[in-house]
Chain A
Amino acid sequence: MEKRFVYADNAATTAPLPEAIAEMMPYLTEKWGNPSSIHGKGEEAKAALVAYREKIAGLLGCEAGELLFTSCGTEADNHAIRGAAYANARNGKHIITTKVEHPAVLNTCRALEKEGFRVTYLEVDEEGRVSPEKVDAAICEDTVLVSVMYANNEIGTVMPIREIADVCRKRGVLCMTDAVQAVGSVPISLHELGVDLLTASGHKIGAPKGIGLLYIKKGTRIKNLIEGGGQERGRRGGTENLPYIAAFAKALEIAYERLDDNGRIAKMRDRLIDELTKIPRSRLNGSRTERLPGNVNISFECIEGESILLLMDMAGICCSTGSACSSNSLDPSHVLLAIGLPHEVAHGSVRLTLSHGNTEEDVDYIIEKLTGIVARLRAMSPLWNE
């Protein structure tokens, strides 16, 4: 098969959409005013900011006043968790989250533990899900916040967020969800979803890196993370990044228009899963059904992920791994360990994340190359016996 370039790491970042880049350009070249200025140049920018915020609110099913823009998804996660914890500390200092959260959530919770908060990290089942009943059972008298990710960035497992939000509402506890991987991939309507706080990131859906958002349901009290000149209705200081907000709005609009295409992506995902799990001693990580449309995560026994990645890269395929060798620690992915994989199996995992740009030809190419790479590495592995 002829060599191709296949980008299958869309959970890491996506190629910026030309439409999103075109949308942001006027705010770099002509309409570069500061939305806080009261002169014409500022008014021009302010009007655009208002319009984009309304557009995004319309797509996400919330009010414009419930959205604030951040520099990235990580900032939004920090803001939501710290802000909610501090604002409600006099009601209690207990936070509930899960063992499979993104480091932006996990490490924020760990930092809060050092400040006197108590955090429960819920176990997940073998598919990476936490049940609403489990959340319910973990809520104590002093619980103020539940933070459960909408969809997992490594294994693509989609959590029952609506049901978890119901539990939280009944128990009088704030519900926050890190939806960085979900927004744009699954239809989300915020007011129906029922969460109090939600975070998203632009570069996962075709906007440039450097823009995130935080949804704060009307009436939810949270403290500020960044103090400044009263932007974002006094909730986040710093001149609004209008060019990136414009790109984010355009990318989100396109993502919602393309939600229908997710069926095609899910079909490609399923073909990858079906073919790659035919390789002996391989296993799918995560859920077969409750799964993001583009996510494939498979472990191959007796080989190591970084080696797979390097050979995939040489073949022109970009993907990622949960092996320790891809990080600075000796432990493989905390998510793979949380779903019960032994260390040695977690080291041999590969994550392929597809998006709208991928084709059936890409899938054929990945299957052919990855099958060969697994065989090649097993042939030199002292652990492998045919």
Chain B
Amino acid sequence: MYSEKVMDHFSNPRNVGEIENASGVGEVGNAKCGDIMKMFLKIEEGVIVDVKFKTFGCGAAVATSSMATEMIKGKTVEEALLLTNKAVVEALDGLPPAKIHCSVLAEEAVKSAVADYYKKNGIEKEIPGCTGDCAACHLHDH
């Protein structure tokens, strides 16, 4: 069902945990649907120096979270915002069609964490692909 890469990231997820006093925290998904991703960023001088995640969800949810954190670690915030769900899927050697939404959540988790960082620091920059009105922003409405 899953590629070797997905199974590797699922069984040995990278960057699991939390960051105290994180520069930005994003949480997307909802428990009712069975997936929640929470991402913590530590940003110094515009660079993501550390990233951690916690995920409630299926194998693909864990693997996409893990891969996304690897892909943005050490990158600038702007570079991290360019991360697409498609790139995450490709890096994992593909996902079953029913699991593509997990990669979308991973992309949204990164954007949501950056949005939090921007908000905390009074930075008024646009987040590509973010309308400020996706499910992530309404998470607590559920």
Q: Is B46 an interface residue (CB 8 A)?
A: no
The CA of A343 and the CA of B33, in the complex, are separated in Å by 7
Select from chain A the residue with minimum beta-carbon distance to B37. A382
Q: Is A304 an interface residue (CB 8 A)?
A: yes
Chain A residues positioned under 8 Å from B62 (CB to CB): 307, 380
Specify which of B13, B16, B58 is in contact with A325 (CB 8 Å cutoff): B58
- Asked whether, in the complex, the Cβ of B34 is within 8 Å of the Cβ of A303, the reply is no
Chain B residues positioned under 8 Å from A382 (CB to CB): 27, 36-38, 54-56
Select from chain B the residue with minimum beta-carbon distance to A381. B56
Question: How far is the CB of B13 from the nearest CB of chain A, in Å?
Answer: 7
Question: How far is the CB of B140 from the nearest CB of chain A, in Å?
Answer: 13
The CA of A381 and the CA of B58, in the complex, are separated in Å by 11
Contact indicator per residue, chain B 2-35, by CB within 8 Å of chain A (1) or not (0): 1000010011010010000000000100011111
Of A302, A311, A347, most buried by chain B (CB within 10 Å of CB) is: A347
Select from chain A the residue with minimum beta-carbon distance to B38. A382
Contact indicator per residue, chain B 24-67, by CB within 8 Å of chain A (1) or not (0): 00010001111111100000000000000011111111100000
- Asked whether, in the complex, the Cβ of A344 is within 8 Å of the Cβ of B31, the reply is yes
Q: A307-B10, A343-B34 are in contact. List 20 more A-B contacts (CB 8 A).
A: A304-B35, A304-B56, A304-B57, A304-B58, A306-B58, A307-B59, A307-B61, A310-B11, A323-B58, A325-B59, A325-B60, A343-B31, A343-B32, A344-B31, A380-B16, A381-B55, A382-B27, A382-B37, A382-B55, A383-B36
Contact residues of A between 305 and 336, Cβ < 8 Å to B: 306-307, 310-311, 314, 323-325, 328, 330, 332
* Chain A binding surface SS class: loop
Q: Is B123 an interface residue (CB 8 A)?
A: no
- Asked whether, in the complex, the Cβ of A311 is within 8 Å of the Cβ of B33, the reply is no
A residues touching B (Cβ–Cβ < 8 Å)? 302-304, 306-307, 310-311, 314, 323-325, 328, 330, 332, 342-344, 347, 379-383
The CA of A134 and the CA of B116, in the complex, are separated in Å by 53
Question: How far is the CB of B62 from the nearest CB of chain A, in Å?
Answer: 6
Select from chain B the residue with minimum beta-carbon distance to A323. B34
Question: How far is the CB of B58 from the nearest CB of chain A, in Å?
Answer: 4
Question: How far is the CB of A329 from the nearest CB of chain B, in Å?
Answer: 9
Sample of 19 A–B contacts (CB below 8 Å): A303-B56, A304-B34, A304-B35, A304-B56, A304-B61, A310-B2, A311-B11, A314-B11, A325-B34, A325-B58, A328-B98, A330-B33, A332-B34, A343-B32, A347-B31, A380-B54, A382-B56, A383-B36, A383-B56
Select from chain B the residue with minimum beta-carbon distance to A345. B31
- Asked whether, in the complex, the Cβ of B13 is within 8 Å of the Cβ of A324, the reply is no
Question: How far is the CB of A167 from the nearest CB of chain B, in Å?
Answer: 37
Chain B residues positioned under 8 Å from A332 (CB to CB): 34
- Asked whether, in the complex, the Cβ of B31 is within 8 Å of the Cβ of A307, the reply is no
Chain A residues positioned under 8 Å from B34 (CB to CB): 304, 323-325, 330, 332, 343-344, 347
The CA of A332 and the CA of B35, in the complex, are separated in Å by 12
- Asked whether, in the complex, the Cβ of A310 is within 8 Å of the Cβ of B13, the reply is no
The CA of A342 and the CA of B33, in the complex, are separated in Å by 11
The CA of A262 and the CA of B118, in the complex, are separated in Å by 62
Chain A residues positioned under 8 Å from B13 (CB to CB): 380
Question: How far is the CB of A184 from the nearest CB of chain B, in Å?
Answer: 30
Total residues of chain B contacting the partner, CB 8 A: 25
- Asked whether, in the complex, the Cβ of B31 is within 8 Å of the Cβ of A380, the reply is no
Of A303, A344, A347, A380, most buried by chain B (CB within 10 Å of CB) is: A380
Chain A residues positioned under 8 Å from B33 (CB to CB): 324, 330, 343
Shortest Cβ-Cβ A-B pairs, 10 listed: A344-B31, A325-B58, A306-B58, A382-B38, A382-B54, A347-B34, A343-B32, A381-B56, A310-B59, A380-B16
Specify which of A307, A342, A343, A379 is in contact with B57 (CB 8 Å cutoff): A307
Chain A residues positioned under 8 Å from B57 (CB to CB): 304, 307, 325
Chain A residues positioned under 8 Å from B2 (CB to CB): 310
Question: How far is the CB of B44 from the nearest CB of chain A, in Å?
Answer: 24
- Asked whether, in the complex, the Cβ of A380 is within 8 Å of the Cβ of B98, the reply is no
Question: How far is the CB of B14 from the nearest CB of chain A, in Å?
Answer: 11
The CA of A323 and the CA of B32, in the complex, are separated in Å by 11
Specify which of B36, B55, B59 is in contact with A306 (CB 8 Å cutoff): B59
- Asked whether, in the complex, the Cβ of B32 is within 8 Å of the Cβ of A310, the reply is no
The CA of A304 and the CA of B54, in the complex, are separated in Å by 13
The CA of A134 and the CA of B34, in the complex, are separated in Å by 33
Question: How far is the CB of A341 from the nearest CB of chain B, in Å?
Answer: 12
Question: How far is the CB of A168 from the nearest CB of chain B, in Å?
Answer: 38
The CA of A302 and the CA of B55, in the complex, are separated in Å by 10
Chain B residues positioned under 8 Å from A325 (CB to CB): 34, 57-60
Chain A residues positioned under 8 Å from B11 (CB to CB): 310-311, 314
The CA of A310 and the CA of B31, in the complex, are separated in Å by 19
Contact residues of B between 50 and 97, Cβ < 8 Å to A: 54-62
Chain B residues positioned under 8 Å from A344 (CB to CB): 31-32, 34
